[in-house]
Structures are given as structure tokens and as C-alpha cells.
A and B are shown apart, each in its own frame.
Chain A
Amino acid sequence: MTSVVEFENVFQHANGRCLLNGVSFSIGHGESFGLLGPNGAGKTVLLRLIMGLDRPSAGRIVVLGQDYDRLSATGFSRLRQSLGLVLQGGGLLNGLSVAENLILPLRTRGESMDLMGRRVRLIMTQLRLDGLENLYPHELSGGVRRKVELARALIQHPKLLMWDELLDGLDPASVIEIQEHLAREKRTRELTILFTTHQPVGVFSLASRVAVLDGGRLLFTGSIEDLSRAGDYDPDLKYALMGWL
């Protein structure tokens, strides 16, 4: 299985704090990888590094075969067309309508307005967002916003979808809908998914492999079965997972 994401001994420091402490892991093609950890564990920091929003203090990151140490700004822009990110706490442009927000990632591809319009309508139908085209982000509920953010991340058919704090603000029906949609995307387009969460309830069914991050350190990487066993003999992991398993 080829790697979509590879982290080698990655460190990230900011304002004198160590946000990531020597993190190494890899995500294979077509995997659904869950990154678990409490608030402040460094999950968002890790996603931002993959997306190229921040540069690591040290270590090596390779995404879709592109080594970030050798990637130019233009290279990053091109790579981002193969990455989709649903950010925690927004990312939609408040001055643009839902439809205009969804078109944004397609703009750099030079597609015709007609084709872009069709793609917007299709993704909106698939995620049951019909009728919301002309609304603005501030007019949407938190859950619907998350779905629009997902739609924007998926509209350019990314090879890797990253979702920060999956399930946050979503009702159970939306979760099922999204699970089904992502399963379809995985089947038809071999989408690789990386999601983070601090609420593991219901997440284990989505992940084929998980990692546990706490205080910037990666405590565990493996299957969910291995995770429950590892928690028995690793006190740090047990403490991090307290109440989860």
C-alpha cells in the first residue's frame, strides 16, 4: 500500500511551546485514519502542517509523494488541489453565498462556469444541501455549515480528505448521511480520509486505523483492536484514553 501521508520525526514549536514532539506515522492509500486526542493535543497543528498552512520546525513531511522541504509555493498550490480540508471553526468566506463558496476551489482549475455550476448542484444534492445556494454562511446552522465545508472540500475530488473535529456540531442523521457519502467516495474514488476528534463515540466505525496524540506526542498507531489492548499495558496511553474505551 503506497503512502499518502508520511511524517518523519516532525516537531512544531510556537511561542516557546512544543506543539508536536517528534511525530512519525504514515497513512496508506485509501485508508480511513482517525487521529484521536484530547483538546490541545496537537491534532489541528498536524492537519495544518499537512495542508501547508504552517511549516514544521523540524522533520520531514511527504504528502502524495511531494516532499514539503522541496516544494515551492506554486507546487503547494498545485498539491492543494488534491487535498480537501474541513477546518475546525469555519473557513467559509462570510461575504460569499454557499454556491460561491463551493465554486472557490474550482476557480483555479479554469473550468467553465457551466461545468462549475453543475458540479456545485451535484455535490449539494448529494449532501442534501439543495435550496441553500443563495444563503450566506452566517444564515446557516452550525451543522449545515459543517456540511457546506465538507462539500467544498469534496467538490474538487481530492485524493486526501482531512476533517478537523469530525462530528462536531452534527446531528446523528447528518452523521449517517456523511458516513454514507464518504463510504461512497472511498469506493468510487479511493479517497483517503484523515479525521481528528476528541469525541471518539461513533468514530471507531469510520476508522480503519487510529492514532492517539496527546501533548504533541504520538502515543499509539494501529488498529482499534490493538488500541484497546495497548491501553492495558501503556499507562500514558491509558491515561490519555481514560473514559474512551
Chain B
Amino acid sequence: MGLFVLRDCLRLYRDILLKRNRLDLKAFAGALRETGLSILFGITLVSAVVGLIVGKETEDILDKVNIPGLLIGTIGRTIINEFAPLLVGLFVAGRSGVALAVRIGSMVLNHEIDGLVVCGINPIQYTVGPMLLAMLVMSFCLAVWTDLVVVGVTAAWLWFYAGITWSLFLDSLKQVLELRDVVASVVKPMVFSIFIALIAAVNGSLVARRVEEVSRAATRTMISAIAAILLINLLFVLRT
């Protein structure tokens, strides 16, 4: 079923590009707000807190082992390669994935999905289509933002408390990071988003008659999405 949803989404995007269909701008704007702006404060706060913790821990280790280049490189690479994409994935799953499952479930209960089908419209156009597109755009932006905040706060802490200059920090990162690491760090959350959207769409569509099923769909989406994120991340790690 997830594959059918993905196929219909791709067809929708193709038709939009070929001007055979229109992107529902209202739904897309709402989805952008839901997937990005509504979690921006939370993800910034968490990223900053993590940056502070990593900075403090690194400072403590630097007191004992004075090899700043290796330490900063290792920590920076872990943040950019693993931590930031996972954080974005978890936030997107928790906010957008659950919201999408609840929305589709409610639309099934309120016969809104039937209403769209009756009008000859594929429901994907008003549900998963705009949401997935927004999730892809926002995952990219949030990944870049999270990288910047965590790395920036860590670097600021180390500069202030451990006397690590910005140029040393950046040079150490440059030595361990390759272009593909940076690309992977923004691509990974986008891949997570595709799976999150499909999991949410399938769970939301399974709602049949009762309101309780909507909350069940939300919980199932959250758990399945986290599992999927970790598995996909593992595949990325094993591949590199």
C-alpha cells in the first residue's frame, strides 16, 4: 500500500511539473508550517542544548587528553553524520508523521476521503502529496539548521572555555569530513521523511469506523517511524 501511495505522489509531482495538475498551495503552505516552522523552536532548543553538552564533555576530555584535532574531528563527524539527521528524523516523525496519520484517519472518519473520491480527485493530492513535499523541503532545511546550531554551539563553548579557536575547530572538521558526509547528513533526513510519510499514510488509511483508531494510528506511526529511521540509518552506516 505504501508503494501505491509513493507511486501516486510521484505521479502527482510529475503532473505538477508538466502543468497537468496544480499543487494545492493552501495545503502545501499548511504542511510547510506543520513540518518546519512548528518544530523550529523545539529543534533549535534541543540542538543548542546538545551542543552545550557536547562542548562541556569535550572540554573535560581535553583537560585529560590534549589532542584537540582528533577529538573535535570525531565529535564533529558524529554530530553531522549521525546525530543531526537522527534528531531531524525524530522531530519530523513526532510532529509531521503523527499529524499526517491523525489527519488522514480523521478524514476517513469524517468521510472527507470519500468526498474527494466522489469528486473524482485522488485524495493523495490533498493529503500525502503536499505533506511529503513539505517534509522533504523542511527536512533538508532542518538538517542544515541542526548541523549549524549543534556544531556552532559546541565550537562556541570550546572557544570560550577551552580556548579552541574557530579556525582550529573548522580545520579539524575539514580533515575528517568529506563532501559525501555533508551530503549524506542532509539526504538522510529526506529519506527518513519519505518513509515517515508512507508509514503515516498507511496507518491513517487503516482507520475504519471508531475514533479510538485514530489515536492508535498515531501511536503506531510514531513507533514504526522511529524503528524505520534507526534501520535506515544503520543501512547508511553499513554502506559507508
Contacts and interface: CB of A to CB of B under 8 A. Distances in A.
Given A95-B27, A95-B30, A90 B115 contact: yes
Contact of B118 (A78, A80, A94): A80
B111 A91 contact: yes
Nearest to A15: B208
A102 B115 CA distance: 11
Contacts of A90: 110-112, 115
Contacts of B30: 95
Interface stretch (A24-32, A63-71, A81-89, A197-205): A81-89
B126 A91 contact: no
Interface string B27-49: 10010000000000000000000
Given A93-B126, A95-B30, A104 B112 contact: no
B120 A94 contact: no
B115 A108 contact: no
B116 A104 contact: yes
A152 interface: yes
Interface residues of A, number: 26
A51 B126 CA distance: 20
B118 A93 contact: no
A53 B116 CA distance: 11
A85 B119 CA distance: 9
B115 A87 contact: yes
Interface string A76-120: 011011010101011111111000100011011000000000000
A91 B27 contact: no
A108 B110 CA distance: 23
Contacts of A153: 118
Interface string B126-154: 10000000000000000000000000000
Contacts of A92: 112, 115
B19 to A, nearest CB: 11
24 contacts: A48-B114, A51-B117, A53-B117, A78-B120, A80-B117, A85-B118, A87-B111, A87-B114, A87-B118, A89-B110, A90-B110, A90-B111, A92-B115, A93-B112, A93-B115, A95-B26, A95-B27, A104-B116, A104-B119, A104-B121, A105-B120, A107-B22, A107-B121, A108-B119
Given A92-B115, A93-B115, 6 more contacts: A52-B117, A80-B118, A83-B118, A87-B114, A104-B116, A105-B120
Smallest CB-CB A-B distances: 5 pairs: A91-B115, A105-B119, A80-B120, A104-B119, A90-B111
